[in-house]
Amino acid sequence: MTVERGLRGVAGFFVLLSVALGYWVHPAFFLFTAFVGANLFQSAFTNACPMMAILRKAGFQDSQGPAGVPKDLLARS
């Protein structure tokens, strides 16, 4: 699995979890939903996200090959 797919999975899980906690436990958990959204928004522009570093250390691979070409396109060549 790639870092980008792992990041989307983790972010989606955190959003669903924080919405459920905000609904059933305490509304303050909705602030965590906002934090995840804000982090995703800034990472779209800066390509910097703490979770991406954690996923790379966990063994996830980047999806970009040499010169920024996606690895799946290189495999088809």
pLDDT above 60 for 77: no
Domain locations along the chain:
3-76
pTM for the full predicted model: 0.77
Secondary structure letter of residue 63 according to DSSP: S
pLDDT at 62: 87
Is residue 36 a contact partner of residue 11, using CB atoms and an 8 Å limit? yes
32-68 per-position pLDDT tens digit: 999 999 999 999 899 889 999 999 999 999 877 665 5
pLDDT at 29: 97
C-alpha 68/C-alpha 27 separation (Å) is 42
Compute the C-alpha angle 63/73/39, nearest 5°. Answer: 30
Mean pLDDT, the chain, rounded, equals 88
C-alpha 70/C-alpha 54 separation (Å) is 21
Buried b (16+ CB within 10 A) or exposed e, 13-33: ebeeebeebbeeeeeebeebb
